[in-house]
């Protein structure tokens, strides 16, 4: 059905409208350049045709499909789809609203418009006021007037602002909102794909730049946005993705692995067989076996290419991890070296001789000896300013090592102190008296006495004000050290069946190992059990996981058994392999459904879907899949 719309300006040629079968209204003018323009707006870029959707404006679409989220920024594939549909989007102009009549205005209306054009500004304002008052009795006319006026005041502030200011505004948005906003139009997409914007976003979340080839190389050109996508994929893989194939490192025979270090490239395991072994993550081979100790190795630390170990032979040894050479043997302790803490070129050692000593691992020089404990020192921490030591004499001591001055003696525990964490402000101590205490390092006062565990606290980790503790009572607890309240107890039917041996916080998860031969992962915020990451063949019948070490991309476990039912070994789960480009594990359908990526699948790790699978991570693989676990 076609009709004619005449302009009040006699110099403008008439315009014809035609409503097609799809409900769209096409406006075709003999000369578009003569059409009335919206005030303060730029002219249309494409002046050949203007197609306006009658029911909604395309730039304000609220579609929830995430299939077009990852686009090749160089080809703009998603926007080419719009051009195939012959849709042209201009700057906002008044949307067509139901009109009382679409016929040509009468001569009296044209005369009134002519008189209005000749009025002064004040007279025009008075005329408009009177006109609105006359329309106030009919709300439909006021609604029509509002709908006609509103588009004239709509501005694309992201496009209109200088690029630097637009980026400053966008930097406050989370990644999920940025990704949705990038679908608005070409200009927004180009601005939001700014490298610096995504670099700041990654740095604010401590996401490292990923320079290795990954599965998103051909999907996301922005390197920092690609790094963010890999990070989100890692979070998904820890949570619900298919676990990477385990690697096993065997070499300590049936001895116990007493200490474990991991820096992402190397694994260092120490054992009571008097040796340490250095394993290559890449090849899975034992690169070096460090021999020299005359007793079991009980503690170790690693920095750059140096490994430091303490033994029952009362010595500390400094090794070159590349060559396996022993650079220094540090003598001084008169009993077993039980714990080490490394800070830059300094190492702090605690011994059963009740002393704490500070050494320079580069020169091999002993710098300070801290005496005061009356029983074995079990744990030490050092942040460059304070040395904190916990001992079997039920006390924690805070020292300034430069002048060997004792600052505070923290008394309150009624049994041996087995574990410490120290963040520079708070000291948290775990004891055999079943309690945990939070201390202020400056004043030496006890801030909170945390009770609830039923046995020895074997391991703790502190992130901000959130403390995670693992206990021999088979439970893990999450605390707020500011309030002293227990937020969650990780127990229930999926809890460990025996003592928790170690805990670690990684990403938004808690990873715990146990005497029952399992490694479990829990949600840090809710305390919900997610799944088992490792389950030994002899789990529940002698198998035990002694230690774990985690990074964002890998899990390392030291495992064995107490009754020879399980071989002593180191287990590696490399989650980073699931994002590697040349990884044969990605051929499995459950890893990320990458086999359909180059055909009909468009995957996106930057959005939240209605399925609520992961924060800022979409797992929609195609238009028909409601919730298929994959990433992009």
What's the pLDDT tens digit per position in 306-345? 999 999 999 999 999 999 999 999 999 999 999 999 999 9
**266 in any annotated domain:** no
- Quote the pLDDT of residue 563: 81
Domain range enclosing 186: 163-240
CATH number, position 194: 1.20.1280.50
Taking residues 253-264, report their average pLDDT: 91
CA distance 233 to 241: 9
Strands 417-422 and 405-410: unpaired
- The span from the CA of 26 to the CA of 24, in Å, is 6
Which pair of tokens denotes residue 462? 């502190």
* Per-residue pLDDT reduced to its tens digit, 65-92: 333 334 444 444 444 443 444 333 334 4
Is the CB of residue 346 less than 8 Å from the CB of residue 367? yes
Confirm whether 527 is domain-assigned. no
Q: Mention every residue, 6+ apart, whose C-beta is less than 8 A from residue 239.
A: 509, 521, 530, 614
Percent of the chain with pLDDT over 90: 53
pLDDT value for 291: 94
449 close to 412: Cβ distance less than 8 angstroms = yes
DSSP state of 617: B
How far is residue 219's CA from residue 222's CA, in Å, rounded to a whole number?
Answer: 9
Distance CA 279, CA 282 (A): 9
Residue 510 has pLDDT above 90, yes or no: yes
Residue 482 scores a pLDDT above 50: yes
Please count the other Cβ atoms lying within 10 Å of the Cβ belonging to residue 143. 13
Count of CB atoms within 10 A of residue 465's CB?
12
> How much is the average pLDDT of 20-39?
41
Distance from C-alpha of 352 to C-alpha of 416, rounded to nearest angstrom:
13
When pLDDT is averaged across residues 462-470 and rounded to a whole number, the result is 95
Residue 437 near residue 429, CB atoms below 8 Å: yes
Residue 317 lies in a domain: no
Other beta carbons within 10 angstroms of residue 473's beta carbon come to 20
CB-CB contact of 197 with 223 (8 Å): no
Helix or strand or coil: residue 392? coil
3-state secondary structure of 263: coil
- Decide if pLDDT at 509 tops 90: yes
Q: What are phi and psi for residue 574, nearest 5 degrees? A: -95, 95
pLDDT at residue 112, rounded to an integer: 87
**Rounded average pLDDT over 230-244:** 89
What residues have CB less than 8 Å from 282, skipping those under 6 apart? Answer: 265
Please give the Cα distance from 112 to 555 (Å, whole number).
80
pLDDT digits (tens, 9 = 90+) for 182-213: 988 899 999 999 999 999 999 998 888 888 88
- 94 pLDDT higher than 60: no
Q: Give tens-digit pLDDT for 518-572.
A: 999 999 999 999 999 999 988 878 899 999 999 988 999 999 988 888 889 999 9
Q: Write down the pLDDT at residue 102.
A: 59
Question: How far, in Å, CA of 343 to CA of 349, rounded?
Answer: 12
Position 188 in a domain: yes
Nearest to 450 by CA among 468, 463, 464: 468
- pLDDT at position 458 is 87
Q: Is the pLDDT of residue 599 over 50?
A: no
Q: Is 194 inside any structural domain? A: yes
Contacts 24+ apart (CB under 8 A), 505-510: 505/461, 505/463, 505/466, 505/468, 506/238, 506/550, 506/551, 506/552, 507/234, 507/235, 507/238, 507/552, 508/235, 508/615, 509/238, 509/239, 510/468, 510/476, 510/478
- 208: in domain: yes
Residues 277-282 have a mean pLDDT of 92
49-58, 94-103, 134-143 — which one is most confidently predicted on average? 134-143
The pLDDT value given to residue 300: 96
- For the range 209-217, what are the long-range contacts, defined as Cβ-Cβ under 8 Å and sequence gap of 24 or more? 210/579, 212/580, 212/581, 213/580, 213/581, 213/582, 214/579, 214/580, 214/581, 215/579, 215/580, 215/581, 215/586, 215/592, 215/594, 215/597, 216/70, 216/579, 216/632, 217/581
In a domain, 214, yes or no: yes
Cα–Cα distance for residue pair 202/506, rounded to 1 Å:
17
Averaged pLDDT of the chain: 79
Q: Is residue 304 part of a domain?
A: no
pLDDT of residue 240: 87
- Give the pLDDT confidence score for residue 48 in this predicted structure: 36
Looking at residues 383-400, what average pLDDT do you find?
96
**Rounded to an integer, what distance in angstroms lies between the CA atom of residue 28 and that of residue 49?**
7
pLDDT top residue among 426 and 69: 426
pLDDT on residue 620:
27
User: What is the gyration radius of the CA atoms in the chain, in angstroms?
Assistant: 34
Number of domains in the chain: 1
């Amino acid at each position: 059905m076609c009709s004619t719309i005449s302009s009040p300006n006699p110099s403008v040629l008439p315009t014809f409208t035609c409503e097609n079968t799809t409900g769209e209204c096409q406006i075709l003018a003999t000369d578009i350049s003569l059409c009335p323009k919206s005030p303060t707006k730029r002219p249309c870029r494409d002046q050949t045709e203007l197609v306006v959707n009658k029911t909604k404006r395309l730039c304000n679409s609220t579609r929830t499909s995430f299939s077009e989220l990852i686009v090749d920024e160089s080809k703009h594939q998603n926007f080419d789809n719009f051009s195939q549909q012959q849709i042209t989007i201009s700057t906002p102009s008044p949307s067509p609203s139901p009109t009382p009549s679409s016929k040509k205005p009468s001569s009296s209306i044209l005369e009134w418009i002519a008189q209005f054009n000749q009025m002064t500004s004040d007279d025009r304002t008075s005329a408009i006021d009177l006109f609105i008052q006359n329309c106030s009795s009919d709300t439909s006319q006021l609604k029509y007037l509002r709908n006609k006026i509103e588009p004239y005041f709509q501005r694309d502030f992201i496009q209109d602002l200088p690029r630097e200011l637009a980026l400053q505004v966008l930097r406050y948005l989370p990644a999920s909102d940025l990704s949705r906003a990038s679908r608005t139009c070409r200009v927004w997409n180009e601005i939001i794909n700014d490298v610096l914007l995504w670099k700041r976003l990654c740095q604010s979340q401590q996401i490292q730049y990923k320079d290795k080839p990954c599965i998103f190389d051909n999907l996301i050109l922005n390197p920092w946005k690609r790094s963010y996508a890999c990070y989100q994929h890692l979070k998904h893989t820890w949570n619900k993705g298919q676990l990477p194939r385990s690697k096993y490192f065997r070499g300590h025979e049936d001895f116990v692995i007493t200490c474990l270090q991991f820096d992402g490239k190397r694994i260092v395991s120490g054992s009571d067989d008097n040796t340490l072994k250095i394993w290559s993550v890449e090849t899975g081979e034992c690169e070096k076996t460090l021999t020299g100790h005359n007793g079991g190795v009980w503690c170790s630390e690693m920095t750059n290419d140096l490994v430091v170990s303490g033994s029952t032979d009362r010595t500390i040894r400094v090794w070159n991890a590349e060559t396996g050479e022993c650079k220094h043997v540090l003598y001084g302790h008169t009993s077993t070296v039980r714990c080490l803490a490394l800070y830059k070129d300094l190492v702090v050692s605690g011994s059963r001789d009740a002393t704490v000593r500070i050494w320079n691992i580069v020169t091999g020089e002993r710098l300070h000896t801290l005496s005061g404990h009356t029983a074995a020192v079990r744990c030490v921490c050092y942040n460059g300013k304070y040395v904190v030591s916990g001992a079997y004499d039920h006390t924690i001591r805070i020292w300034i090592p430069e002048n060997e001055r004792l600052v505070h003696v923290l008394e309150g525990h009624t049994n041996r102190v087995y574990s410490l964490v120290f963040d520079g402000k708070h000291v948290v101590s775990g004891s055999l008296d079943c309690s945990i205490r939070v201390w202020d390092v400056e004043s030496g006062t006890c801030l909170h006495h945390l009770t609830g565990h039923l046995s020895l606290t074997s391991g703790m980790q502190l992130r901000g004000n959130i403390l995670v503790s693992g206990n021999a009572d088979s439970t893990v607890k999450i605390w707020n050290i500011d309030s002293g309240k227990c937020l969650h107890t990780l127990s229930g039917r999926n809890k460990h069946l025996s003592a928790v041996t170690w805990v670690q916080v990684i990403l938004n998860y808690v990873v715990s190992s146990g005497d029952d031969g399992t490694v479990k992962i829990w949600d840090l915020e809710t305390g919900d059990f997610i799944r088992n990451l490792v389950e030994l063949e002899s789990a529940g019948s002698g198998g035990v996981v002694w230690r774990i070490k985690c990074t964002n991309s890998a899990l390392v476990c030291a495992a064995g058994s107490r009754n020879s039912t399980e071989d002593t070994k180191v287990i590696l789960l490399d989650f980073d392999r699931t994002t590697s480009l040349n990884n044969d594990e990605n051929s499995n359908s459950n890893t990320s459904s990458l086999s359909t990526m180059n055909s009909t699948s468009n995957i996106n790790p930057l959005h939240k879907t209605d399925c609520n699978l992961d924060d800022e991570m979409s797992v929609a693989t195609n238009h028909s899949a409601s919730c298929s676990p994959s990433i992009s």
